[in-house]
């Protein structure tokens, strides 16, 4: 276990309610979303610890003002030391294995990290009196297909039936259910944020997911673009800074329960392709390939609960967000 820095004393609930800085742990804090969250927490004056094994996260993403523990969530002894050496008041849990296809090939390995290690983290948090535990789930995965049998569709609400289509989504749902149990049995102070498809700077262009990052880098390199199916499948795309703002709002308002976080608007893969092609001056036609079995046609989120509960709303529209991504990738490729 590698670490640096020192902890602060625990604040009282009254102090936290007044916005006084907290000691906050972020798992997966060197990853795409996690690193942006760490940056914002640091900027807000919080004392931030992050855990990441750098399997998919990047050392370049690590904020030097945060205390960094390079370790696996499955290392329970080391995890225990993190909690005993510090006075952690809030936990954002993003650390996970996230490859959907891998989750179907290695269900036991995925459950060991995504479920068992998460339960151990919850137990440590409960035992040490953590005042807020926020789990980042996937609204794009847990609900399943958004088009109904009669052809109608609507944005998913938190009350809609859950229908995961792969082991990754099932892992997310399992933790949601455990957190619901902990809230009921132990009054465990927790919230679940079901994120839409998050995009923005630092997203991995070589990953399985992340169509915006994948398309942008390929277009700027004038490489072939492959689209699964005919490209009419639609998702809810949310810029990463808006996702991070929802985390900060949930922390500030001591959120409890399950909340959708997204733009509330469906956008097709073809639309993403066309907008990025225009921004990057890409003139090649995409190549349509076979869609993966089980891929849903439509998934987008109703976010009225988060909006009414915390006053949160997304502020970066799709065109501006895509423009930001293109500029970021252009700068990276020019280095």
| Active site members | 168
**Cα atoms in the Cβ-side hemisphere of radius 13 Å centred on 124:** 27
The end-to-end CA distance of the chain, in Å, is: 32
Task: Give just the sign of the alpha carbon dihedral 308, 312, 315, 321.
Answer: negative
Task: Give just the sign of the alpha carbon dihedral 24, 29, 34, 38.
Answer: positive
Q: Can you read off the two tokens belonging to residue 107?
A: 């269900």
CA–CA gap between residue 53 and residue 73 (Å, rounded): 8
Q: What's the chain look like in SS3?
A: CECCCCCCCCCCHHHHHCCCCCEEEEECCCCHHHHHHHHHHHHCCCEEEEEECCCCCCHHHCCCCCEEEECCCCCHHHHHHHHHHCCCCEEEECCCCCCHHHHHHCHHHHHHHHHHHHHHHHHHHHHCCCCEEEEEEEHHHHCCCCECCCCCECCECCCCCCCCCCHHHHHHHHHHHHHHHHHHHHCCCEEEEEECEEECCCCCCCCCCCHHHHHHHHHHCCCCCEEECCCCCEEEEEEHHHHHHHHHHHHHCCCCEEEEECCCCEEEHHHHHHHHHHHHCCCCCCEEECCCCCCCCEECECCHHHHHHHCCCCCCCHHHHHHHHHHHHHHHHCC
Q: Which residues pair with 156 in a beta bridge?
A: 301
């Amino acid at each position: 276990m590698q670490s640096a820095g020192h902890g602060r004393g625990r604040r009282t609930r009254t102090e936290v309610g007044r916005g006084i800085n907290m000691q906050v742990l972020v798992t997966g804090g060197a990853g795409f979303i996690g690193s942006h969250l760490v940056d914002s927490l640091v900027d807000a004056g919080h004392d931030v610890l992050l855990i990441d094994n750098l399997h998919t996260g990047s050392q370049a993403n690590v904020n030097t003002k945060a205390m960094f523990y390079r370790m696996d969530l499955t290392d329970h002894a080391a995890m225990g030391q993190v909690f005993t050496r510090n006075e952690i008041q809030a936990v954002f849990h993003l650390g996970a294995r996230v490859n959907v296809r891998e989750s179907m090939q290695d269900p036991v390995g995925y459950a060991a990290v995504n479920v068992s290690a998460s339960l151990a983290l919850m137990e440590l948090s409960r035992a040490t009196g953590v005042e807020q535990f926020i789990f980042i789930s996937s609204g794009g995965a847990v609900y399943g297909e958004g088009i109904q049998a009669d052809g109608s569709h609507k944005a998913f609400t938190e009350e809609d039936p859950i229908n995961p289509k792969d082991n990754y989504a099932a892992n997310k749902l399992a933790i949601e259910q455990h957190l619901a149990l902990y809230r009921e049995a132990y009054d465990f102070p927790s919230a679940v944020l079901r994120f839409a498809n998050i995009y923005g700077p630092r997203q991995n262009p070589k990953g399985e997911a992340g169509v915006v990052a994948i398309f942008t880098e390929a277009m700027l390199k004038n490489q072939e673009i492959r689209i699964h199916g005919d490209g009419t499948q639609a998702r809810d795309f949310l810029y990463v800074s808006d996702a991070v703002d929802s985390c900060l709002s949930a922390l500030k308002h001591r959120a409890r329960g399950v909340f959708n976080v997204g733009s509330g608007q469906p956008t097709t893969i073809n639309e993403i392709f066309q907008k990025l092609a225009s921004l990057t001056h890409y003139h090649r036609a995409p190549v349509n390939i076979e869609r993966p079995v089980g891929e849903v046609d439509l998934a987008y989120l109703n976010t009225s609960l988060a909006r009414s509960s915390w006053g949160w709303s997304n502020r970066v529209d799709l065109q501006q967000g895509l423009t930001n991504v293109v500029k970021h990738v252009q700068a990276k490729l020019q280095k």
